[in-house]
Amino acid sequence: DQQVKQNSPSLSVQEGRISILNCDYTNSMFDYFLWYKKYPAEGPTFLISISSIKDKNEDGRFTVFLNKSAKHLSLHIVPSQPGDSAVYFCAARVNQGAQKLVFGQGTRLTINP
């Protein structure tokens, strides 16, 4: 049972344009959402997060949007840069007490010069 889904295995974007990565979830008990970035041969690194009480969080070129009614999360990167090429994982936490993160399958983002 995949509670967090990233339906696009890959995405290709031109440098300077906006990259939009999507994530859907099924568990309404999730209270905290995160995006991780992963380069080859490295572990995932935290990128940005959002609490379920908010609908938007921005950090520089990265913005995460949360639509609770649709159970949908998205990450916007603008402008996209070649160094953004990586695999992006969406993650969700069941509740604060558990600290357990459930991850999606990942989306491979390629930024073309």
Partner 1 sequence: DAGVIQSPRHEVTEMGQEVTLRCKPISGHDYLFWYRQTMMRGLELLIYFNNNVPIDDSGMPEDRFSAKMPNASFSTLKIQPSEPRDSAVYFCASSFTGPNTEAFFGQGTRLTVV
Binding site for partner 1 (CB under 8 A): 2, 6, 32, 34, 36, 41-46, 49, 51, 89, 91, 96, 98-106
Q: Tell the smallest beta-carbon distance from residue 96 to partner 1 (Å).
A: 6
Q: Residue 65 is which amino acid? A: F
Residue 83, both tokens: 């160094």
Q: Closer to partner 1 by CB, 77 or 89: give it.
A: 89
CA–CA separation, 69 vs 101, rounded Å? 21
Nearest approach, Cβ of residue 10 and partner 1 (Å): 12
How many helices, marked H, and strands, marked E, lie in the chain?
0, 11
Judged by beta carbon, residue 27 or residue 112, the one nearer partner 1 is: 27
> If residue 6 lies in a helix (H) or strand (E), which one and from where to where?
none
23 or 111, CB closer to partner 1?
A: 23
Smallest distance, partner 1 to C-beta of residue 43, A: 3
- Note whether 91 and 103 are within 8 A (CB): yes
